[in-house]
Amino acid sequence: MLAKKTLITLRKYFKEYKPKEWLFDGENGTDLRYIQSLLGDSSSKTTEIYTHITTKGFEKIKNPLDKLEI
């Protein structure tokens, strides 16, 4: 379930940034300063930590929505 406050925040984000293809840009070539601003980080070092986490084990993560029988 999506929290009501999260939905409100996502709507504000959508109205302000008007994404064309994806709701959130990936780190594929996006300037780190833009990501820093969007995350509200005061230090670029903090943003670097978030954007350079390991991807080891990502293939094991399963989306719970994939279990739905629609």
Q: What is the pLDDT of residue 15?
A: 94
| Model confidence, pTM | 0.38
pLDDT digits (tens, 9 = 90+) for 3-49: 888 888 889 989 998 888 877 766 766 777 887 888 888 888 887 77
Digit-coded pLDDT (tens) for 48-63: 777 766 566 767 777 7
- pLDDT, residue 12, reads 92
The distance in angstroms from the start CA to the end CA of the chain is 17
